Structure 1
């Protein structure tokens, strides 16, 4: 009964926005048809620490929807493939989801390089694509009208990090270290510098590296030799580098606060860097400390389903993305027509989820959301502030 109450409480929260058609008499009858929805995630490789939790959240939401009768009497069939953090594999599996599995929507992925690979295939084939975690704000423009973001864009999270460093921490001089191998990291660094300098801050030194570089000694030594008065470090990086670069900085005696975007919202940061991760700030999509009943019910359901608490905010993004799809399918003029589904997604307004409220305004396919700032303290992420951009 306890599990049932938790699930029902969560479903009722979403029912304020849309309703799912359940069978009468309290008994769930078999659906006449299923709706195939693609869940494309990098479950292995460098993106796994973001994508595995996101897939778990996505599947949890689908299970809850099915337990409540599905969508207009049809159950969701989640079709899942591992992208293996390889763009070719992502592209091939996207084609398979559409051509073989007949998915009417494809969703997933937490990095823009892979989301672009999947999104372009979907656009060519006229199938809606929603990235649950990639944050490149120009992705829908680059891909086309069938592409959507469930999270905020890189400009939003970079601006929020810049505002927090300058206004809240009062740190006016920054060292900027950027991974040059990814569209996400280059874009994030660009927007951080833009906002930080507009606020009156100064980028005193810039340096670069490539994803999966095992040794950051050259960059760190250059910084130590001439810090330029830096008071904070912004690292534009991804999960498999996060713990490594932070640990190497601390091991060489660099004690300045570090700030980054959602690429650092990974258990790997703390697992690899240990105590060295302390005093690292992360701009991300949500705080698991949020006491909103929707968040706490989600956490309880995730623990019950997987035996652990959500590992990071990407679990919530995957969860919200499934409900975003379900909401659109329930409103689509023809839920079997990809163009009608696309139009229903684009018309989404006021859909509250655990990572914020989704509304696509003025034709944009990127929602405007707040940014959560968390800080690593004593081996865990601690909520600092929710930033609403002006």
Structure 2
């Protein structure tokens, strides 16, 4: 218990203080300094870049801040984190080859990707070698069943965020009849829409219909027929749920609002994107709500300190919550390395991947930028979900949903 409390102090209070000060303090070398390597997989170009590049930057920032403090103190040792980055450029075949790359042979953990398909391609190759794998942003709730007990999620599952926005739509917006638009090209959009539909109907709501579209090609989806049906439907939908990400999310908002349709638009964290905020609408965007990570629009010390440090490092605010998730992933791992080493603090073996995996699985009430992490049996974090409203170009947290 003492070890856990100490870890929380170091990677909670002290980290917040260092971030808040915004000081790049050069740490003097410590006696017994040791470096551990961590694989960092991401996509800096292609369709996954808007998710992975911010997460990569957040992860790099976290490791830098830990190291300038002198590293992770474990008994007589001070552990420096060395991230081994691999950019796979949104190519899923490269994700598999990156996992078996020669330079990743000596890593104690791997962190990577915000998309479940890329995680599936890479994670098992680490896990089969006994190396724990942490995904900052993938949210498919069945990943643990496939990958096993050395797989860990920093984000909630799609089932949880689908339930969260369904509860808010039915109970707070008092909306009982809705239409759905669902992108069929991604596991994320299919899973979150199924979860939303199940929860909304359980509460007593009615899904009038669900229209499908496909993204990912060079030609944007044709939403004109979907809008025609929405306008012609009787009884009139009181809201519309849209399962989409980035460009398609922004395009749907633009066409609905410019087409004179002002009913609430509800969605999941695919709408947590600057594309949506910058959608060119005749009137300022409002009446748009989405479930996302507890980060945007919040004033907790962990959040404000992170944003300050990120701006100092990169010259701009984080593009989205994935930057915070990448940051959190590294700090969760650092906390686990510390607790794993403290079990044998006289001669701590910080290269023991089994001990690190066990410590990750025991993470409890650990405060990070995107909430408070407690790993559940399926290695998803039981943490709160924010419901964010977009109004007049601003993001405001209007509700906090807890599982």
Q: So what's the TM-score if we normalise by structure 2?
A: 0.86
Corresponding position of 2:269: 262
Deviation at 1:277, TM superposition (A): 4.2
Q: CA RMSD in A?
A: 2.3
Q: Is the 8 A contact 1:211 1:241 kept in 2?
A: yes
1:223 aligned onto 2:230: yes
Partner of 2:175: 171
**Segment of structure 1 superposing worse, 113-122 or 150-159:** 113-122
Contact 1:132–1:318 (CA under 8 A) maintained in structure 2: yes
Partner in structure 1 of residue 57 of structure 2? 56
Q: Is the 8 A contact 1:122 1:146 kept in 2?
A: no
Task: Please say which of residues 208-217 and 107-116 is displaced more in the overlay.
Answer: 208-217
CA distance in 2, matches of 1:346, 1:15: 24
SS in 1 for 2:54: helix
1:77 lines up with 2:91 in the alignment: no
Correspondence list, 1:1-390, <5 A: 12-13=13-14, 27-29=28-30, 32-71=33-72, 72-96=77-101, 100=104, 102-212=106-216, 213-226=220-233, 228-274=235-281, 277-333=285-341, 334-361=349-376, 363-389=377-403
The offset of 1:48, in angstroms, is: 1.8
CA–CA distance in structure 1, aligned partners of residues 122 and 32 of structure 2:
30
Aligned to 2:5: none
Worse-superposed segment, 71-80 or 222-231: 222-231
Structure 2 distance, partners of 1:37, 1:30, is: 22
Shift of 1:61: 0.8
Once residues 219 and 88 of structure 1 are traced to their aligned partners in structure 2, the CA distance between those partners, rounded to angstroms, is 35
Q: Distance in 2 between matches of 1:88 and 1:152?
A: 26
Moved more, 260-269 or 232-241: 232-241
Aligned equivalents of 1:219, 1:113: Cα separation in 2:
28
5+ unaligned residues in a row in structure 2: which ranges? Answer: 1-8, 18-26, 342-348
Moved more, 335-344 or 125-134: 335-344
Which residue of the partner structure matches residue 4 of structure 1?
none
Aligned length: 371
Distance 1:168 1:223, change over 3 A: same
Q: Which stretch shifts more, 302-311 or 380-389? A: 380-389
Q: Structure 2 vs 1, CA of residues 381 and 10 (structure 1 numbering), >3 Å: closer, same or farther?
A: farther
Q: Which runs of 5+ in 1 are unaligned?
A: 1-7, 17-25
> What secondary structure does 1:73 align onto?
strand
Q: Could you tell me the TM-score, scaled by structure 1's length?
A: 0.88
Q: 1:96-120, CA deviations, whole angstroms, 9 ceiling, x for partnerless residues?
A: 2x66453221112112122222222
SS of alignment partner, residue 223 of structure 1: helix
Residue 32 of structure 1: how far off its partner (Å):
4.3
Any conservation in 1 of the 2:67–2:80 contact (CA below 8 Å)?
Answer: yes
